[in-house]
A and B are shown apart, each in its own frame.
Chain A
Amino acid sequence: MATLTKPVIYEDVRRDLWRPLAGASARYLIVLFVLAAIVLWGLCAWGYQLHEGIGVAGIRRPVFWGFYLVNFVFWIGISHAGTLISAILRLTEADWRKPVTRAAEAITVFALMIGGMFPIIHLGRAWLFFWLFPYPNSRLLWPNFRSPLLWDLTAISTYLTGSTIYLFLPLIPDVAQLGQHATGWRRRLYRALSLGWTGSDQQWHALERAMKLMAAIILAVAVSVHTVVAWDFSMAIAPMWHSTIFGPYFVVGAIFSGIAALLVAMSIIRKTMHLEQYLTPHHFDNLAKLLLLMSLLWLYFTICENLTAWYGNEAKEMNVFGSRIRGPFASYFWIMVFCNFVVPFVLLGIKKLRTIRTATIASVTVLIGMWLERFLIIVPTLSFGRLYATWGQYAPTWVEISITCATFAAMALLYLLFSKLFPIVSVWEFKPHQEPED
């Protein structure tokens, strides 16, 4: 196997990968506590907003969508980590993916849970969010299927269901093994989750088939999900939103930020859980190349998007375009270009510079850059509408900032808990002869 330098002894692998599950160091507990406190603060901020009215956020006329929708698009984008790495690599039978897939799939599920919260947080009457569910109300009126928001709801709930199954399937053999060795409530939990897995040939066959099938399905769903998210904007007639390129542009951006999130998560896992032997420079190198490729693709789309608007020189579009390039949003725009293109291009494009450390740095800047990109797509268009008389600038309040910070903490918290309950690197996939040969 290319990924490991030493011959694999399954018992050693299992011991290594199960080690992080046992006990909890003081450092772990402190981090857990801090993260939980931030999440709690965010929840308080949301509670305050629900109580007082959404006016405690900075959104206003004409910028009716602000940080919440930026976060929504950002987190749905992050969720594409799992899909790409896992599904594409699984389907193409790229063997090096094995230690990476679960870390990626977990990101998908948690990012979706967080991203999916934002349309609800953002609602004026959040407590009535279920009115969007596709069933008729007491007057037999169905929701409006022509609304992109309804497509959104459908796409995201499908994606969340699918990716949860997709995360769960490869977990089954692992939890079954854990169930044999654990004690107490953990034993009961693992036993319940293993769904009666005994490891028979028939079960392996079924699992293999299910994982292949889900990989293919989830790939299609993932592409469509972010296209639908893009359509929330491009279906509107607002200047610079009404663009045919938004679907693929958003998908590329999503995969881009997804890989960056995965790289950051991996380098933290590698350090804190001492999995240097499993998450090797080889993995980081491969993913870093992928990140570089996506960076170039992102640049290509960004140029396509902006060059056509600039050349077209339509007044209303130029107002938005100008505000980004040299107007009030220019600093964010150029930071975005620096973060999304210059840093990855230099650090990952030059072979000598491409290390685990630089890949992590580039990933962090990409995450910042992609968040800014979502902001730059949503806010300038709304600030500079078609009628000059209605222009207005948006500034977030502490409520929006708190909730935004809390979601990053929530992501880390969920990840921390997950990696304490389940091996973050799939154990059974290291075991030779376990997979049936047809």
Chain B
Amino acid sequence: MTDTKQPLHRWGMAIDLDRCTGCQACVAACHAENNLPLSDPESAAKGRAVHWIRVDRYYEGEFPNIRVKHMPVLCQQCDEAPCEPVCPVYATYKNPEGLNVQVYNRCVGTRYCANNCPYSVRFFNWFDPVWPAPLDLQHNPDVSIRMTGVMEKCTFCIQRIKRAETEAKEEKRALADGEIQPACAQSCPAEAMVFGDLNDPESKVSRMAGSGRSTRLLEELGTEPKVFYLKRST
């Protein structure tokens, strides 16, 4: 048996850019799962929209021979996360399973973490969130609602991870590969996103991360992200 003190899992994700169509289903799913506040076009134009996952678009070539590259960007769950040491109140830290977690209750809103995140995947609650009716009735009860003045970001759907781990523990069995799916991966029609345990060399995500096409975003900064992008082959 493995020592229970040792972290069993090291969660990571692989995203196959060849498969991503830029459909934004992941963005919508994330909104529904994680109780993200909605924004109107006005506040979105002001840079106030909150999307824990976004699809960045890069254009290649000159019109009409133009190609669009889509890249879903979410919190990269860095092993050497630049956001962590700068927080004065430990509102963001690394949990034992390697997740970079955000503790809303501790956050005072210095926004330093967001400035130091090279991926710009941290979001701030500029106001108390509001949902137009009837969306206010469909909140996910497993995810807390964040008040004004605190940071938030992708959690890898930690509520799903915790639930699956608890269930597996109760049933005294190991977690199967692919048993946990964050909302974005679950809803991806092209199955571009794969979530799993990087500590398990046989898991699908580990195999994808080891592929020759595998790369990480802004790898040169030494942030050691746990999200792997599989380059486009064409």
Contact = CB atoms under 8 A, between A and B. Distances in A.
Given A52-B127, A55-B127, A385 B87 contact: no
Chain B's interface: helix, strand, loop or mixed, by majority? loop
A131 B124 contact: no
A387 interface: yes
A299 interface: no
Interface string B210-221: 000000011001
Nearest to A124: B109
B138 interface: no
A385 B120 contact: yes
Nearest to A139: B106
Interface string B192-224: 000000000000000000000000011001000
Nearest to B82: A237
Given A131-B89, A144-B88, A390 B110 contact: no
B232 to A, nearest CB: 16
Interface in B54-99: 54, 56-58, 71, 73, 82, 85-90
Contacts of B150: 124-125
A318 to B, nearest CB: 16
Given A125-B107, A237-B221, A389-B58, A61 B88 contact: no
Contact of B109 (A125, A236, A382): A125
A146 interface: yes
A157 to B, nearest CB: 14
Chain A's interface: helix, strand, loop or mixed, by majority? loop
| Contact-residue bracket for chain B | 35 or more
- Of listed B54, B56, B126, residue having the most chain A CB within 10 A: B126
Interface string B106-139: 1111111011101110011111100000000000
Contacts of B111: 59, 64-65, 124
A64 B148 CA distance: 15
A144 B125 CA distance: 22
Interface of A: 52-55, 59-65, 119, 122-126, 128-129, 131-132, 141, 143-144, 146-150, 153, 232, 235-238, 382, 385-390, 392
Interface of B: 46-48, 54, 56-58, 71, 73, 82, 85-90, 106-112, 114-116, 118-120, 123-128, 147-151, 217-218, 221
17 contacts: A53-B125, A53-B128, A54-B126, A55-B148, A62-B120, A124-B150, A125-B108, A125-B149, A131-B108, A143-B88, A144-B90, A148-B112, A236-B82, A385-B118, A389-B58, A390-B56, A392-B47
